[in-house]
Amino acid sequence: MVADRRICDPDILIQAVQKFSNKHVLVLGDLILDRFVWGSVSRICPEAPVPVVEIKTESTRLGGAANVAANIRSLGGMPNPIGVIGDDLEGRELRDAFRSIGSTVNGLVVDKGRPTSIKTRIIAHHQQVCRTDREDRSRLPHAVQVKVVDKFKKTIKNVDAVIISDYAKGLVSPSLLKQILPKAGTTGKIVCVDPKIMDFSLYSPATVVTPNVAEIEQATGIPISGKHNLARAVNKILGLPGIECLLVTRGEEGMALFRTGFRPTYIPTVAREIFDVTGAGDTVISTLALGLVSGLSILEAAVISNIAAGIVVGKLGTASVTAAELMEGIRTSHN
């Protein structure tokens, strides 16, 4: 079944977006500082066959789970980020960046034994030349995990939804999930998970999990080359206890919504021009969670998250979508 975006009343979708400003979302995950080095290339290095980038400007943005929080804020909601930073300059930059968007910083835990995760992208003439990463992907020390769980338990009672944003940097582990997800389940919160652990049973109970096609392949061992294979692979996951809804992101092919007891719904992409897919998944899960807590059905929330993703891939670098842009995108997509 292919979803016609017009089956979702645009007025209802816009009314939901207007409710985002009253919503609080707990975002737990790997906090990353995204650094961008912007420049130009006019010659090749004489020592090696690589371009010489003449640096013009540098900038930093919230990345990883921090970009999820930035998207929540940009859409009008209030993020409550929980994650780990290092006792370093970049950790302080992340803290300051959160404050600059009006986000709380009470959920940030400092681990003096690991650096703040940094991704540095070198961009010349609107194209990424290379990327360097500085990170420690080992699991959190027990004492640090205890602090993260404590932050989660203190924060969850004051939010409308929970997002787990796993970037495989060491924070989200089976032991952590076993402590926080049952708590989210007993409080009746909507839980949206962007996964990296391939045992999806660890994400129970979750309202919706948002893997990409590659993650579905890895989790099931089924190569995916079309809708039939995708549905067959997803059905192996939907049979797991507590996993009743998957929203699979499919790149240029859009999204596919799978729910226990329903036929699959395929949502075509709305992107008009793709400059950069960096952070598109962050935009999807942010919009999805806000849509669900604002009264939309899972299909309606998936449709607006697809529209939001179509907007953000038209921007260069780690980016977010505003509520005004999303409402305009809804109107345009329904004309």
Count Cβ atoms below 10 Å from residue 49 Cβ, excluding itself.
7
Closest CA to 292 of 191, 187, 166: 191
**Confidence category of residue 6, pLDDT binned at 50, 70, 90:** very low
Under the banding of pLDDT at 50, 70 and 90, the label for residue 271 is low
* In the predicted structure, residue 24 carries a pLDDT above the cut 90: yes
Residue 100 confidence (pLDDT): 96
In the prediction, which pLDDT does 186 show? 87
Q: How confident is the model over 152-175, as a mean pLDDT? A: 95
For 61-100, the pLDDT digits (tens) are: 999 999 999 999 999 999 999 999 999 999 999 999 999 9
pLDDT at 334 over 80: no
Domain range annotation of the chain: 5-32+62-117+136-333
Predicted confidence at residue 227, as pLDDT, reads 79
Reply yes or no on whether the pLDDT at 35 is more than 80: yes
Residue 96: active-site member: no
- Could you say which of 30, 111, 276, 282 is catalytic? 282
- Is residue 277 scored above 70 in pLDDT? no
| Mean pLDDT within 231-253 | 89
Q: What is the CATH number of domain 5-32+62-117+136-333?
A: 3.40.1190.20
Its pTM stands at 0.92
Q: Which of 104-108, 157-161, 310-314 has the lowest mean pLDDT?
A: 310-314
Judged by average pLDDT, the poorest of 208-217, 224-233, 300-309 is 224-233
pLDDT of 173 over the 90 cut: yes
Question: Mean pLDDT of all residues in the chain?
Answer: 90
Task: Please compute the mean of the pLDDT values over residues 8-36 and round it to a whole number.
Answer: 95
pLDDT at 210 exceeding the cut of 50: yes
**pLDDT tens readout for residues 102-151:** 999 999 999 999 999 999 999 998 888 899 999 999 999 999 999 999 99
